[in-house]
Copies of this chain bind each other. A is one copy, B any other.
Amino acid sequence: MEGSGERLVLNVGGVRYETYHSTLRAFPGTRLYQLTEPPMGGTLAREVFFDRSPHLFGYVLGYYRTRQLHCPPDICRAVLEEELAFWGLADAPLAPCCWLKLSGGDGRAEDFHAWEESELGEEQGLLGPIESPNSTRAQGTWKPWLWALLNQPCSSLAGKCAALLSMLFLLGVLVIFFQETSVQLDYFTSNFRPLEPWDGEKEGLPPPQAPTPGLVYQRAPHLLYLELLCVLWFGAELLARSISCPNKIKFLRSPMTLVDLASLFPVLVELAVGRRAERHPRLCLVLGALRVLYVLKLGRLLGLVEKPLALRVLAHTLRSSWREAGLLLLLWAGEILLFGSLFLYGELLGTGHGQGQSEVHFADILTCFWWTVITLTTVGYGDIYPMSALGQVTAAITAMAGMLTSVLLVPILLVRFQRCYAVALARQKLRPSGTL
């Protein structure tokens, strides 16, 4: 113990820290060092007062004593930075064992911001600023009313009715769509069946008649008119939306609008082409395929339901990790190319020995890629599988790689989800202004 004559009392916010002058001389140029230098023609003060937080000063003083800057757990980065700047220690390196203590409260302000923006985007989204109609009253008040009617069905009885009606039309058009597929399947199976003559040839039977060209593609007209009715309703709805929307640009850019727009065409084109469609079955197939958009319109239903927090966080996580998803897809594509080629050569090299069975299940490398996808995802239909030992080895490696790849997705998704869920949960319990 050295002489107490050198002792100095640092009254920081009321808490009296005591230390030796020699301790404070560890870092010249800092605010505490200056206390140890007597002013011009004066003496050193025995006690100095600072109006700072006494809590963190303990760690600052510890830095002078041990030359290692530690910090309390879960300290806010901004607080620590300000404190260090005040004491002239902005360049002090934090001890590595404390780096993680800091990280907690750090990126969170950004996370909170990202989450709030995402929530806002979901809620208001293309609705645009709701308050704008109030300022431009000259335009009439029916526009906001119409917009609310169509987009916030829970707000009024009329809105509920409109939503119910719209849902019924959607269900109707889906039923019609599924009916149509059976018509197209019947037409397809009766007109195109080249497999049978090929089989017959093998068995020495006379080839069957060519598909009767008279069996044309014939849709029940009443289905078409019913579908037209539904589509007209959807068109009217889309028109009403586009007129009443406060923010036209956002509205037009939204994918839902594009789906709505594109789903109007199939039935119109089919009616326009009319009976000539019977001679262009391929066009009918394309028009049918376009009708899959009706299924996508079901997504609007999801918008009406209030989603629980966990799912909103999940959606936000998926949206915010598109870069990771993109690179993982690239990696997957690379795996498919690699294992597909390996499988092809494994089979070719393995079956060339002439041991009795030497047939491969594929005719080109694209089929190998298809096999790779089905094996990597562990679906394994069994339409293609390796016949040779070498091919089986490549297939086994592919199957294991597929299992590992699916496991790799879990930690990335999980860690991001956990962070975001904690943020969302904390935000939910504070008022918008940030008060308790």
Contact = CB atoms under 8 A, between A and B. Distances in A.
Nearest to A309: B324
A272 interface: no
A302 B386 CA distance: 30
A81 interface: yes
Contacts of A178: 365
Contacts of A341: 177, 181, 291-292, 295
Interface stretch (A133-141, A242-250, A352-360): A352-360
**Copies per assembly:** 4
Given A14-B18, A305-B327, A414 B413 contact: no
A103 B74 CA distance: 13
A101 interface: yes
Interface stretch (A50-58, A144-152, A158-166): A50-58
Interface string A15-41: 111111001000000000000000000
Chain A, interface size: which category? 35 or more
Interface stretch (A117-125, A193-201, A225-233): A193-201
Contacts of A97: 76-79, 105-106, 108-109
Given A352-B192, A356-B194, A363-B185, A334 B295 contact: yes
Contacts of A295: 334, 337-338, 341
Interface in A59-89: 61-62, 65-66, 68, 70, 73-74, 76-82, 84
Contacts of A55: 58
A100 B108 contact: yes
A18 B13 contact: yes
A52 to B, nearest CB: 7
Interface in A335-385: 337-338, 341-342, 344-346, 348-349, 351-352, 354, 356-360, 362-367, 370, 373-375, 377-383, 385
Contacts of A427: 99
A403 interface: yes
Contact of A19 (B14, B73, B311, B422): B14
Contacts of A302: 327, 330-331, 334
A193 B358 contact: yes
A102 interface: yes
Interface string A148-176: 00000000000000000000000000100
Given A308-B323, A380-B381, A411-B414, A13 B4 contact: no
A342 to B, nearest CB: 6
B185 A292 contact: no
A268 B399 CA distance: 33
Given A23-B51, A282-B352, A338 B292 contact: yes
Nearest to A58: B55
A395 B371 CA distance: 11
A400 B425 contact: no
Nearest to A71: B76
A239 B126 CA distance: 55
Contact of A414 (B90, B344, B410): B410
A415 interface: yes
A295 B344 CA distance: 14
Interface string A279-307: 00110011011011001101100100101
Contacts of A310: 321, 324, 412, 415-416
Nearest to A64: B51
A296 B338 contact: yes
Contacts of A79: 62, 66, 68, 70, 97
Interface string A378-406: 11111101000100100110011011101
Rank and list the top 9 A-B pairs by shortest CB-CB distance, nearest first.
A73-B74, A379-B380, A103-B426, A14-B18, A289-B345, A14-B17, A93-B434, A97-B105, A382-B382
13 contacts: A11-B18, A17-B54, A68-B79, A81-B436, A99-B430, A181-B341, A185-B364, A310-B321, A314-B408, A314-B411, A366-B392, A379-B380, A415-B418
Given A70-B76, A289-B345, 4 more contacts: A181-B364, A370-B389, A373-B396, A379-B399
